[in-house]
Amino acid sequence: MGHVKGLKCRECGREYPVDPIYVCEFCFGPLEVAYDYKSIAKAVTRKKIEQRPETLWRYRELLPVDGEPQVGLSSGFTPLVKADNLAREIGIDELYIKDDTVVHPTLSFKDRVVAVALTKAKEFGFDTVACASTGNLAHSVSAHGARAGFKRFIFIPASLEASKIVASLVYEPNLIAVDGNYDDVNRLCSEVANKYRWAFVNINIRPFYAEGSKTIGFEIAEQLGWKAPDHIVVPCASGSLLTKVWKALKEFKQIGILKELETKIFGAQATGCGPIATAVKSGTDVIRPVKPNTIAKSLAIGNPADGFYASQAIKETGGYAEDVSDQEIIDAMKLLARTEGIFAETAGGVTLASTIKLIRDGRISREGTTVICITGNGLKTQEALQGHTVLPHHIKPSLASFEDVLEKINKAN
C-alpha cells in the first residue's frame, strides 16, 4: 500500500533500497525518499483526505511508511489561526499563524517528524530508538517512544540545566549525559549509530524522519481551503523544515491537489546563529559555519546540514531570509502573546521578528496571504522571558487594597 520507490541521493541521484541508511556511499550526499507520484495521484483526492481523522496521518500516501500508522495517532493538524490583531499591528492585510505550540503530545513540531520516524522504526523492526538533542526532539522521542514501547536512549550535553531535562526524564528514557558540548554529543552519536542497531531518528532514520515536516505544508494548504498562500515564513536551524514545507506544496501541485503554486518561502534565523540568512543575503551558495550565540537555542545549529537546500528553495521561490537580535526575539514573543494569545518558544520570536523586518523592507508585500510557522511552545523556554514581562500587582487580602491598585491600573490605561 506504500508509494515509496526507494531512497535517492540528492546530489548524484544514485538509488538505494528502503533501509535505515542516510548517506550516499559514493558521493556522501544525503539520501531522500523517492515516491511514485503517479500512483499517489490516483490514490489521493481532496475529499478522501477531508474524510480522515484530523491528524498528520491524513496525508499518509505522501509519507514514507508502508503499513498502518503506529505512532503519533493524535499528532498534527494544529490550528491555522487567522491573526487579525497581529496583522493590524505589523501592517499587513491577511496573516495566519500555523500554531505548532499545541502539537500532541509534547507541544512542538518535532512530534510530527518523530511520529513518522518511530512508525518507520517499527516497520524496520527496531526495538530501540535514540537521538542527540537538548530540547524539543528529546521530549518528543521520549514521549512518543514511551507509548510505542521502545527502549529509548537520549544523548545530551552534561552541562545542560536540570530544568530543561525534566520534560524528558518524566517519560523515563535512558538519558545519557555526555561530558562535552553539543558537537561532541553529535559526534559520539554517529559512532554509537554505527555500532548498535538502533533507530537514531536524526541519523540513520533521518530520510524518513525529515519527511514528517511536510505535514505542516500540507495542512497549511488544506486549511486555507486547498490554496497555497503567497508567503510562508519558516524558522531555520538545519534548514530541513523549510526545505520540506516547500517540497510539500510542490508535491500537492504535482499530484493535482493544488491547481496553482506561486508561494514565496522566507527563512528566519537569529543573528547569533544565522548561517543560512547570511548566505541568502550575500547571494552565495556556500554556507559558512558559525559558533551559535543566541537565546533561540532550538535554532542554534552553526553548521546546518540542509542549509544549501534551504537557500536554494528560498532562491527558487523568490523569497528571502532575515535574522534578528535577542531583544527583537523577546519583543516579538511578547507581541505574539499580547495580540493573539499564543505563547511561542524563542524560535517563534525569531519567526515573527524576521517577518516584521521582511514586511518593513518590502520583501513580503502587505497585500496577499502570509503564513508564519510557529513551531514550539513558550512554556518550555520560560527563562528567556525572565525580567522581560510585566510585573504582578501585590496587594493585601482586602477590598481596599485591591481598589487602590485598581485605581492605579485604570489611570495607567
Given the rule CB under 8 A, which residues bind other proteins?
Answer: 11-12, 22-30, 110, 131-133, 135-137, 182, 186, 189-190, 202-203, 206, 237-238, 240, 286, 288-289, 298-299, 301, 303-306, 308
Kindly state the smallest distance separating residue 101's Cβ from other proteins, in Å. 17
Kindly state the smallest distance separating residue 133's Cβ from other proteins, in Å. 6
Nearer to other proteins, 354 or 370 (CB): 354
Nearer to other proteins, 317 or 375 (CB): 375
Kindly state the smallest distance separating residue 242's Cβ from other proteins, in Å. 13
Nearer to other proteins, 12 or 102 (CB): 12
Kindly state the smallest distance separating residue 202's Cβ from other proteins, in Å. 5
Q: Which residues contact 180 (CB under 8 A, 6 or more apart)?
A: 157, 158, 188
Q: In the Cβ-directed half-sphere of 134, how many Cα atoms lie within 13 Å? A: 22
β-bridge pairing 80-82 and 321-324: unpaired
Q: Residue 101 CA to chain centroid, in angstroms?
A: 10
Nearer to other proteins, 21 or 337 (CB): 21
Kindly state the smallest distance separating residue 209's Cβ from other proteins, in Å. 11
CA-CA distances (angstroms) from residue 359 to 97, 224, 334?
A: 16, 21, 19
Measure the CA–CA gap between 369 and 95, rounded to whole angstroms: 6
Nearer to other proteins, 103 or 359 (CB): 103
Kindly state the smallest distance separating residue 107's Cβ from other proteins, in Å. 15
Measure the CA–CA gap between 26 and 11, rounded to whole angstroms: 10
Q: Decide if 358 contacts 322 (C-beta within 8 A).
A: yes
The C-alpha cell 484530523 sits at 54
Kindly state the smallest distance separating residue 29's Cβ from other proteins, in Å. 5
Q: Decide if 373 contacts 235 (C-beta within 8 A).
A: yes
Measure the CA–CA gap between 325 and 295, rounded to whole angstroms: 9
Kindly state the smallest distance separating residue 286's Cβ from other proteins, in Å. 5
Nearer to other proteins, 287 or 324 (CB): 287
Nearer to other proteins, 252 or 308 (CB): 308
Kindly state the smallest distance separating residue 12's Cβ from other proteins, in Å. 8
Nearer to other proteins, 189 or 232 (CB): 189
Kindly state the smallest distance separating residue 154's Cβ from other proteins, in Å. 12
Q: Which residues contact 42 (CB under 8 A, 6 or more apart)?
A: none
Nearer to other proteins, 139 or 264 (CB): 139
Q: In the Cβ-directed half-sphere of 18, how many Cα atoms lie within 13 Å? A: 16
Nearer to other proteins, 58 or 110 (CB): 110
